[in-house]
Amino acid sequence: MSAQIIITKIKNHMISAWLHDHEIVEFQCCNTKQKNIVGSIYLGKVKNVVKNINGAFVEFEKGELGFLPMRDLSLKAEEEIIVQVKKEGSREKKPLLSQQIELTGKYLVLTSDKAAIGISNKIKDREQRQELREMAEPMVTESYGFILRTSAAGASREAVMREAQELADKYEEIVRKGRYRTPFQLLEVNQDMESMLLFGKLPDQTEQVITDQDILADSLKRQGYNVRYAAEAGEIERQYRIRHFLREALSRKIWMRSGGFLYIEQTEAMAVIDVNTGKSIGNKNKADHIRKINLEAAKEAARQIRLRNLSGIIVIDFIDMKSEYDKETLLRVMQQYLDQDSKKAAAVDITKLGLMEITRKKERNPLFRQIDIDILD
């Protein structure tokens, strides 16, 4: 999906908005005064193994613990291991760690999880997939394999092979550092802020980047991005109303065109979206009216889930429908909207109580943890 990306700064936060068909579909907010550790690789030390939760707590920075899920319980306390931070911590959860290292390039992802070749699901052509697999198989070793990204389909063999060697060299260097360095040391930094603000998009996946940050504009131009520098003060805010849409994405109540509204509650455990008829005026057929509101709510809920970066377990309490056919239709339509998301999301089921269960992959904290609404005033 080609993206137009808007990047600006509000106080000490860098804000990026991903536009599709002139509508904001995702936000990224980065506090320039805080360190982002997701993707970083450390030499950690096991503090204790907790068998009843199949995991261990690992000190990866001095005084900073993370949780490491374990397939087996072979690790021992005080053992030194290389770990990568996979998810941010929250008020109630430690950062999630993994011993499976991933190094991301333009065309490939090196992974120590499987000594095999994986290919992006977005590459559909069978012959092309087979050609890519045959090209990449000689690069696999006992220690690591590769996932070919969508961009590999349009790259030359030489470019892909060159990047594979660069990633392999970087991996070997990380392993080497882990053998002689002392614990709690950073072995490899995370993806930089630029990559995060660009939603991981490469120049050929981006229609245009519009920013009022001059240093960033120059940097992106050198990397081959199509950049428009908005030099006039306040131009981006006037044209794209970033503050307005951020406030909306941080508010609990979202009105729909029909007069109905969504009420969104976010906790550490899950997100709950309640669908209400509100000011909606129905016709004589109550079932048709409810069906119409629920379908409208499904579209808006999918939009809000992506905007707010809701993840994990999400529950939507739609207006009760008696027809099983209507429920199945709603579930199918919801999945169609979720398929447009940049992250893996699934409409799992509608329970006997009429609650729709949704799961969505977590990569960063939800928007309300990335930025405080008070800074928008």
**Beta-sheet pairing, 312-317 with 355-360:** antiparallel
CATH number at residue 66: 2.40.50.140
Encoded tokens for 285: 């057929």
Q: Stretch 216-234: mean pLDDT, rounded? A: 90
Q: Which of 88-92, 124-128, 170-174 has the lowest mean pLDDT?
A: 88-92
Give the Cα separation of 227 and 5 in Å (integer).
Answer: 10
At residue 357, the pLDDT reads 97
Range in 193-202, 282-291, 294-303 the model is least confident about: 282-291
Is 247 part of any domain? yes
* Statement to judge: residues 215 and 297 lie in one domain: no
From the number of C-beta atoms within 10 Å of its C-beta (0-12, 13-18, 19+), residue 28 rates as buried
* Tokens at 305, concatenated: 């889930």
Same domain, 91 and 111: no
Q: Please give the model's pTM, rounded to 2 decimal places.
A: 0.76
Task: Find the helix or strand (DSSP H, E) in which 132 lies.
Answer: helix 126-136
Q: What share of the chain is helix, strand, coil (3-state, %, to 5)?
A: 35, 30, 35
- Show Cβ contacts of residue 273 under 8 Å, excluding neighbours closer than 6 positions: 262, 263, 264, 265, 301, 304, 314, 315, 316, 317
Nearest-angstrom CA–CA distance, 24 and 165 = 38
Shared domain check, 275 and 197: no
pLDDT at 1 over 60: no
Domain identity same for 353 and 248: yes
Helix pair 126-136, 157-180: axis angle to 10 deg? 50
**Enclosing H/E stretch for 186:** strand 185-188
Q: Is 344 left (phi over 0), alpha (psi -120 to 50) or beta?
A: beta
Q: How confident is the model at residue 203 (pLDDT cuts 50, 70, 90)?
A: confident
Average of pLDDT values for 4-11? 93
Whether 376 is covered by a domain: the verdict is: no
Question: Within a domain: residue 263?
Answer: yes
- State whether 294 and 234 are in the same domain: no
Range of the domain at 171: 102-182
Q: What is the pLDDT of residues 335-345, one digit of tens each?
A: 999 999 989 99
pLDDT digits (tens, 9 = 90+) for 96-143: 999 999 998 888 999 998 888 999 888 888 888 888 888 888 889 999
**Region 157-180 average pLDDT:** 92
Position 295 in a domain: yes
What is the distance between the alpha carbons of residues 85 and 199, in angstroms, rounded to a whole number? 18
Task: Give me the CATH number covering residue 16.
Answer: 3.30.420.40
Give the residue from 348, 327, 268, 274 showing the smallest Cα distance to 304: 274
Helix (H, G, I), strand (E, B) or coil at 317: strand
Domain finish residue from 81, 99, 117: 99
- 308 and 361 part of one domain: yes
Is the residue at 249 inside a domain? yes
Shared domain check, 113 and 168: yes
Q: How confident is the model at residue 325 (pLDDT cuts 50, 70, 90)?
A: very high
CB atoms within 10 A of CB 40: 19
Q: How far apart are CA 222 and CA 224, in angstroms?
A: 5
Q: What is the average pLDDT value for the chain, to the nearest integer?
A: 89
What is the tens place of the pLDDT at every residue in 268-280?
A: 778 999 999 887 6
pLDDT at 280 (0 to 100)? 67
Taking only Cα atoms into account, the Rg of the chain, rounded to an integer number of angstroms, comes to: 23
- Average pLDDT of span 294-317: 96
The pLDDT, as a whole number, for residue 281 is 64
- Give residue 293's pLDDT: 93
Do residues 129 and 119 make contact, with C-beta atoms less than 8 angstroms apart?
yes
Q: Which of 74, 99, 124 is the last residue of a domain?
A: 99
For position 282, what pLDDT does the model report? 62
Tokens standing for residue 326: 């209507």
pLDDT category at 374 given cuts 50, 70, 90 is confident
Are 252 and 285 contained in the same domain? yes
Structural domains of the chain, count? 4
Same domain, 268 and 363: yes
Does residue 309 contact residue 361 with C-beta atoms inside 8 Å?
no
Based on the domain organization, do 198 and 303 belong to the same domain?
Answer: no
Dist. CA 204–CA 222, nearest whole Å = 14
Q: Which residue has the higher pLDDT, 176 or 278?
A: 176
pLDDT at 114: 82
DSSP-based three-state secondary structure for 259: coil
In this structure, the answer to whether residues 109 and 216 fall within a common structural domain is no
Does residue 129 belong to any structural domain of this protein? yes
Evaluate whether residue 374 is within a structural domain.
no
- The percent of residues above 70 in pLDDT, for the chain, comes to 97
- Is 373 part of a structural domain of the chain? no
CB count, 10 Å around CB of 242? Answer: 21
Identity at 77, one-letter amino acid code:
A
Q: In what order do the strands lie in the sheet with 206-211?
A: 23-31, 13-20, 3-10, 206-211, 227-229
Query: In this structure, are 48 and 124 located in the same domain?
Result: no
Q: Is the model more confident about 213 or about 71? A: 213
Give the DSSP letter of residue 107. S
